[in-house]
A and B are shown apart, each in its own frame.
Chain A
């Protein structure tokens, strides 16, 4: 899908051991991320969308080496990073930074704003002290905070300002990849726009690559270059922005898009809501076949028998559904 991927993830699998029921039963595993592969080109944004619990955060944490992968490879700028340790791992940590959902709990309440931003420089780099201060001052200006706010503590900021501090902190080590996990969902809509515009401006300015996790499809439509849709640990669809929104192929994606409430009256009258009943299956005890089959409006017998592969069809669109062939026509 891209000529020079900055990030290349192959067959990534993350599993957790979970306790189940009473007794001495065997160990159970929950495959939070199950054989997931994707690429992101330098300077672009890949959005990951999907239901709560589909594995978005876990996949991102594994890419950032914040949770251990069970299998697979993660290649950043041409280097495999999953097995790195010591100084090499520290270098990776400089290149991959995280912006969290909750600007309230992700900042240390006892650290002054400038120290929050300086922290990664101290722990991950050997930048001399004077230079550190210059970097911090510079970042404050870039994310739209005033110099006199440097000495304040997190609770003295509004939610949007706190998220700016989180962004400045993520930028401190000059990362190449920034993972934004629901960066605006805790903010009021009026403040969301400020942060989204800032993220896009910084992307151009610093040539950043984003892995952007969000459940808000309007935000995703605005921010992304391509989108991966996850369901129960699997990527079920992956396409560029225009293909995904204008020609969704997976029934789950179609349901997801049709469920978004809209202020656009014509769109509302035109679009048919695809309601998917019930709940996703138990992630520890997956049914055989397609993981979406029990809720899918067009499921057939074979869907309940064999699991569909993620295949590439017309226009580089990737899709895991038995009812979609190379012609890339939606089964709905």
Chain B
């Protein structure tokens, strides 16, 4: 195998809050290959966005910092890179679609101006060239009548169109990695299908690698080759999507898959109660404790789960699960 495009090793991000210092990301490692799509899943607050922000060098200042570990992009260490270098990379090589499309577009500028601004800042295009290119990009993300819509303000567009504008902006500089944080959560499924279709095309045509953050296992199954299931700032399970869905090796992954009422092809009268994952996620104060943080909700829990943090168990198919009882699943 060739050198991965992105290599994150033993990443630890500490968050300083009134309650003290906690590791929101605690020893996370993963790789992203050229043209690959990897997905992050996990409950709210488990650190998905934090991980993405750390790659972008955009951790909330004074609150979050990379305490240890490394992030290598093309072999270049990002955790020690200068602010200028990071800004350069952000505009040209790694770009991100943020969780909330409405708040990440500026309401007082037209979408064309906003896309053109990115192009001028990072590619040094002339005003006219940038504007034309903006229209082209809107067309590429399939906004109908792109030439006239470049002059629209964000509020004049539907939620799905705004999300497509965000994608156009993120693509403006032909990034090597696109990080999409819940790119379709607020959208109708029919619009989501359009956006996924667009992202798939993009990958095919440009070879861009994608990190997609989502809470929907179905979306993961459709879009990604590999996935990371996160729990309380840690890796619960990582591996090929098909293999994990087929046979999860962590009780939390298993719960996530079976607690959702999945749509089925030939529906029958039969109905069962849904499998529940009892309880709730641990609070930030519990992050970093030397035990399995899922233990309070787990039906396989034994004494050792409470005594020590489970090490990663690696399986031959590339699956890796941080659970004392991974083999039994």
B-chain residues with CB within 8 Å of residue A242 when the two chains form the complex: 267-269
A261, B255: Cβ atoms under 8 Å?
Answer: no
> Which residue on chain B has the smallest CB distance to residue A255?
B190
A190, B188: Cβ atoms under 8 Å?
Answer: no
A-chain residues with CB within 8 Å of residue B223 when the two chains form the complex: 261
Cα of A194 to Cα of B277 in the assembled complex, Å: 8
| Shortest beta-carbon distance from B198 to chain A in Å | 10
Which of A193, A263, A264, A271 counts the most chain B CB atoms within 10 A? Answer: A263
Per-position contact with A for B213-250: 1 when CB-CB < 8 Å, else 0? Answer: 00111111111000000000000000000100100000
A-chain residues with CB within 8 Å of residue B276 when the two chains form the complex: 193-194, 197
Q: Is A217 an interface residue (CB 8 A)?
A: yes
Give the bracket for the number of chain B residues in contact with chain A: 35 or more
Q: Is A1 an interface residue (CB 8 A)?
A: no
B265, A279: Cβ atoms under 8 Å?
Answer: no
B215, A245: Cβ atoms under 8 Å?
Answer: no
B263, A273: Cβ atoms under 8 Å?
Answer: no
Number of interface residues, chain A, beta carbon within 8 A: 49
Interface of A is mostly: helix
Per-position contact with B for A152-173: 1 when CB-CB < 8 Å, else 0? Answer: 0000001111000000000000
| Shortest beta-carbon distance from A245 to chain B in Å | 5
B-chain residues with CB within 8 Å of residue A265 when the two chains form the complex: 221, 242, 245
Question: Which residues in window 160-191 of A have CB below 8 A to B?
Answer: 160-161, 188-191
Q: Is A259 an interface residue (CB 8 A)?
A: yes
Q: Which stretch, A33-41, A94-102, A218-226, A316-324, touches the partner chain B?
A: A218-226
A193, B160: Cβ atoms under 8 Å?
Answer: no
A-chain residues with CB within 8 Å of residue B267 when the two chains form the complex: 221, 241-242, 245-246
Cα of A161 to Cα of B279 in the assembled complex, Å: 10
Question: Which residues in window 272-329 of B have CB below 8 A to A?
Answer: 273-278, 280-281
Cα of A158 to Cα of B283 in the assembled complex, Å: 10
B-chain residues with CB within 8 Å of residue A263 when the two chains form the complex: 217-218, 220-221, 245, 257, 262
| Shortest beta-carbon distance from A22 to chain B in Å | 15
A-chain residues with CB within 8 Å of residue B269 when the two chains form the complex: 242
| Shortest beta-carbon distance from A291 to chain B in Å | 14
Between-chain CB contacts (< 8 Å), 28 pairs? A188-B215, A188-B281, A189-B217, A189-B256, A189-B260, A190-B43, A192-B260, A193-B260, A193-B274, A193-B277, A194-B276, A196-B261, A222-B271, A242-B269, A255-B190, A260-B218, A261-B218, A262-B221, A265-B245, A267-B263, A267-B265, A268-B221, A275-B193, A275-B194, A275-B197, A279-B144, A279-B158, A279-B161
Contact of B144 among A219, A264, A275, A278 (CB under 8 A): A278
B262, A259: Cβ atoms under 8 Å?
Answer: no
Q: A193-B277, A261-B192 are in contact. List 4 more A-B contacts (CB 8 A).
A: A190-B255, A193-B276, A196-B261, A257-B263
Cα of A158 to Cα of B43 in the assembled complex, Å: 13
Contact of A261 among B160, B222, B245, B277 (CB under 8 A): B222
| Shortest beta-carbon distance from B90 to chain A in Å | 29
Q: Knowing A193-B274, A275-B194, A277-B194, say if A51 contacts B259 (CB, 8 Å).
A: no
B221, A160: Cβ atoms under 8 Å?
Answer: no
Cα of A190 to Cα of B253 in the assembled complex, Å: 10
Cα of A278 to Cα of B161 in the assembled complex, Å: 9
Contact of B216 among A191, A217, A261 (CB under 8 A): A261
B190, A221: Cβ atoms under 8 Å?
Answer: no
> Which residue on chain A has the smallest CB distance to residue B273?
A197
Q: Is A276 an interface residue (CB 8 A)?
A: yes
Nearest 5 Cβ contacts at the A-B interface: A261-B218, A222-B261, A193-B259, A259-B193, A193-B274
Contact of B261 among A52, A218, A278 (CB under 8 A): A218
Per-position contact with B for A192-212: 1 when CB-CB < 8 Å, else 0? Answer: 111011001000000000000
